[in-house]
Amino acid sequence: MDGVIVDFNKFRDERGLTGDQVKVMPGAYLQMPAISGAIDAVRSLIGMGYEVWLATKPPTGVAHAYSDKAAWVFAHLPELKRRLIVTHDKGLLGDEGDFLCDDRPHKANCEAFPGRLLRFVDGFHWPEALAVLRRNSRQSGGSAMQSRQDAARWRAIRQMDGATISSLLGPRDGRCLESADAAVDAYISASSAGLTETCNG
């Protein structure tokens, strides 16, 4: 969030504080302004069909920073209140078809992100990122969500053994291929359900 959507530096500089002082200040993250154009950019991505999530690394051990960051999202981007991830390891997030926008790509294990890392450094910011993401949306047939679903489908196929793939594909005609797509979708749903049960168990 900070440096991509939230203007941490402006808040810090206007008050003559150090970054470390800001990080431990109660209410600081909640009071920070949005970066100019950032909220409109996020909503543009949603309009393009991207499944947008916010990932943020809180200062370690500062409990109120976690809730302040969440409260900021509730106030400024309420449509993403269920899509906020607080983590110290962004390398655990996403898939190969995803994008991660980050202004500190050398931190929070961003370099291990399996998709494409958009580095918000050296003058690269939302205008440039939107150009990349619009181009990606057009190349995927105008639906970034569909592209992501297709990637998930083929990842599922790669995880299957030969016998399972053969049973899905059957004779090579259009009807059977449609059935294969449906079966793979069911496989993805079942796998997701199993993962959820494992995580919640």
* Choice between 128 and 185, residue whose per-residue pLDDT is larger: 128
pLDDT at 169 over 80: no
pLDDT for 184 equals 55
Contact (Cβ atoms closer than 8 angstroms) between residue 23 and residue 121: no
pLDDT for 168 equals 53
Q: Which residues contact residue 85 at a Cβ distance below 8 angstroms, ignoring those fewer than 6 apart?
A: 53, 54, 55, 56, 93
Mean pLDDT in residue range 152-159: 56
Q: 18-30: per-residue pLDDT in tens?
A: 999 999 999 999 9
Q: Tell me yes or no: is domain 8-140 CATH 3.40.50.1000.
A: yes
Going by C-alpha positions, the residue among 142, 133, 110, 117 that lies closest to residue 41 is: 133
> Quick check: pTM over 0.75?
no
| Token pair of 153 as six digits | 């489908």
Could you tell me the residue ranges of all domains in the chain? 8-140, 144-197
Determine which of 59-63, 125-129, 194-198 has the lowest per-residue pLDDT on average: 194-198
